[in-house]
Amino acid sequence: MIAANAQQTGSEAKTSPIDLSLGFSPCPNDTFIFHALVHGLVPAPGVAFSERLEDVETLNRLVLAGALEVSKISYHLLGHVLDDYLLLRSGGALGRGCGPLLVSREPLDQARLKGRPIALPGEYTTAALLLRLFDPSLDNLVYLPFEKIMPAVADGSVAAGVIIHESRFTYQGLGLTKLVDLGQWWEESTGHPIPLGGIVAKRSLGPEVLLTLEAALAQSVRHAFANPGLARGYIRAHSQEMSDAVCDAHISLYVNDFSVNLGAEGEAAVRVLLERAAQAGIIKPTTGSLFIS
């Protein structure tokens, strides 16, 4: 609930900041990006935050239910919530060489995968969307928390799995084999960078607040780039099982110039992803604005 209280002092009216629910994941790229914003190290005039850290599929479902005012989501989900949310141009994960991987215990071609269970890290993740776009015939889909996918592949519970986040750096240690780099497939088939996750905010907040949020997020990313050591404790507090090297690799892979501002190239990539999802009948066709005008 947004709350704003005004108090009259003489001829001046002082208004307390509106308190916005803010969702993002505990992954190093998100805690790196949001550290300065949630710790008041960059200005966000008239706005305060109550943060909620959850895995991305939990955030997707919270936004689908309208339960968060500002949140990180998978770009797949964006196509389902545009009636109520706008996409902010800063704070997200979009790039090249950073897409989800389809892995298994042994080399398998697509024909041998058909009909066999494939684990995905949530129904509304971009990883799930990419696999469905890559090969719609792979339809025996099992949804698991992302951290349980590699163990399920390794013990044979599923034939293959689509992995995200830090799993890109650790799957070989479990003896798993990469079958398809879905990000590479996307880049080669479209020419665009891969949109993974973005930041949405409720349209009802209004243009002034939305533009404030967008600018503050961009400043938070710039602050993190300029002061990479300041966020270290916050990042490690939410990623205790990762080594510093894996945290750093995670941030380097998923945080880049597109995280400051999507720009024309990033915006085009998002639109193409939504268009392809709509053509495949996975989301409804997009109408109206995606961004703050």
- Known catalytic residue at 165: yes
Q: Is 72 annotated as belonging to a binding site?
A: yes
* Gap between the Cα atoms of 188 and 175, Å rounded: 27
- Report d(CA 57, CA 119) in Å as an integer: 14
Other beta carbons within 10 Å of 129 = 27
* Mean pLDDT over each residue of the chain, to the nearest integer: 91
List strands edge to edge, sheet with 177-181: 141-143, 118-120, 160-163, 101-104, 177-181
> Residue ranges of the domains in the chain?
6-94+195-279, 101-190
> Same topology for domains 6-94+195-279 and 101-190, yes or no?
yes
Q: Residue 58: helix, strand or coil by DSSP?
A: helix
pTM across the whole model:
0.91
pLDDT digit string (tens) for 228-259? 899 999 999 998 677 888 888 889 989 999 99
Report whether pLDDT(227) > 60.
yes
Q: pLDDT value at position 14? A: 57
Using only C-alpha atoms, the chain has a radius of gyration, in whole angstroms, of 20
Residue 15 has pLDDT above 80, yes or no: no
Question: Of these residues, 76, 165, 223, 250, which one is catalytic?
Answer: 165
**Per the CATH hierarchy, to which homologous superfamily does domain 6-94+195-279 belong?**
Periplasmic binding protein-like II (3.40.190.10)
Q: How confident is the model at residue 9 (pLDDT cuts 50, 70, 90)?
A: very low
Is 104 labeled as ligand-binding? no
Residue 12 has pLDDT above 50, yes or no: no
Buried b / exposed e over 163-180, threshold 16 CB at 10 Å, is bbbbbbeebeeeebbebb
Task: Please tell me the distance from the alpha carbon of residue 153 to that of residue 27, in angstroms, as a whole number.
Answer: 22
**Is there a binding annotation on residue 74?**
yes
| Stretch among 76-90, 205-219, 225-239 having the lowest mean pLDDT | 225-239
What percent of the chain clears pLDDT 70, i.e. is strictly above it?
A: 95
With bands split at pLDDT 50, 70 and 90, how would you rate the model's confidence at 8?
very low
- Top mean-pLDDT range of 87-91, 111-115, 175-179, 286-290: 87-91
Q: Name which of 108-117, 118-127, 129-138, 278-287 the model is least confident about.
A: 108-117
* Range 101-190 has CATH code 3.40.50.620: no
Region 120-139: mean pLDDT is 96
73 labelled ligand-binding = yes
Label residue 159 left, alpha or beta by phi (over 0 means left) and psi (-120 to 50 means alpha). alpha
